[in-house]
A and B are shown apart, each in its own frame.
Chain A
Amino acid sequence: DTAVSQTPKYLVTQMGNDKSIKCEQNLGHDTMYWYKQDSKKFLKIMFSYNNKELIINETVPNRFSPKSPDKAHLNLHINSLELGDSAVYFCASNLLGQGHGYTFGSGTRLTVV
């Protein structure tokens, strides 16, 4: 009965590979987000989808491509992984404009070697 679930929890891969992270929420929220947390714990927004429409697209390399098949799912595909992509990636969701905080997933720790 996890509210926001991400898979995998850990991902170790070599430079140059392509990988995907999946996120699903069962809260009935209409908006989902991807945040990146670096080694110094700084959280930075990457993307957001509202009802499958992209509404936030921060300055992120185009190697990162989000995809939302429906409002309960938001996946993140990363091409040609680089060392600097190593971080913890958090998925989050909320009801847009309702003035409530996000519900976060437990994170995916990506390590590029």
Chain B
Amino acid sequence: GESVGLHLPTLSVQEGDNSIINCAYSNSASDYFIWYKQESGKGPQFIIDIRSNMDKRQGQRVTVLLNKTVKHLSLQIAATQPGDSAVYFCADEEEGTYKYIFGTGTRLKVLA
């Protein structure tokens, strides 16, 4: 991930719609990527991960897409629910560095 600015971007979606959260990373040597969800007052929680030898991975209601050419990662949430309201972070790791670099984060607001 990268720090892309000082303001936390916000995505508002209607309950039941699909959400797409985007992330840009800067390190072309990164080979492992993770999405985290952070609810208010809690620590980040693992959602889904993907390795650089894949371009898509699906979980329960979530899909991660990786485009290494443009260094872009996205998280798709199907049928967004009120419980999905949180701040979402992407993180990337360069092989052998053992540290995850977090992106700025996107706040997802689910409207009833």
A associates with B? yes
Q: Which residues of A contact B (CB under 8 A)?
A: 4, 31, 33, 35, 40-45, 48, 50, 55-56, 90, 92, 96-97, 99-107
Q: A41-B87, A99-B51, A101-B36 are in contact. Are A106 and B42 (CB under 8 A)?
A: yes
With a CB–CB cut-off of 8 A, which chain A residues contact B44? 43, 90, 102, 104
In the complex, the answer to whether B42 meets A107 with C-beta atoms within 8 Å is yes
In the complex, the answer to whether B3 meets A42 with C-beta atoms within 8 Å is yes
Query: Does B25 lie at the interface of the complex (its beta carbon under 8 Å from any beta carbon of A)?
Result: no
Bound-complex Cα distance A8 to B41 (A)? 14
* Residues of B1-32 contacting chain A, CB below 8 A: 3, 6-8, 32
In the complex, the answer to whether A105 meets B43 with C-beta atoms within 8 Å is yes
With a CB–CB cut-off of 8 A, which chain A residues contact B6? 40
With a CB–CB cut-off of 8 A, which chain B residues contact A31? 98
Number of A-B contacts (CB under 8 A): 61
In the complex, the answer to whether A41 meets B8 with C-beta atoms within 8 Å is yes
A109 to chain B, nearest CB (A): 9
With a CB–CB cut-off of 8 A, which chain A residues contact B46? 100-103
Closest to B104 in A: A42
Q: A101-B34, A105-B43 are in contact. Are A43 and B102 (CB under 8 A)?
A: yes
Bound-complex Cα distance A48 to B93 (A)? 14
Offer 21 A-B interface pairs, CB within 8 angstroms, sorted by A. Answer: A33-B99, A35-B102, A40-B7, A41-B8, A41-B87, A41-B104, A42-B102, A43-B44, A43-B105, A48-B99, A99-B32, A101-B34, A102-B44, A102-B46, A102-B100, A104-B43, A104-B44, A105-B43, A106-B41, A106-B43, A107-B43
With a CB–CB cut-off of 8 A, which chain A residues contact B101? 45
With a CB–CB cut-off of 8 A, which chain A residues contact B38? 41
Selected contact of A48 from candidates B41, B49, B87, B98, CB within 8 Å? B98
Q: Lowest 6 A-B CB distances belong to which pairs?
A: A104-B43, A43-B102, A101-B46, A101-B34, A41-B105, A106-B43
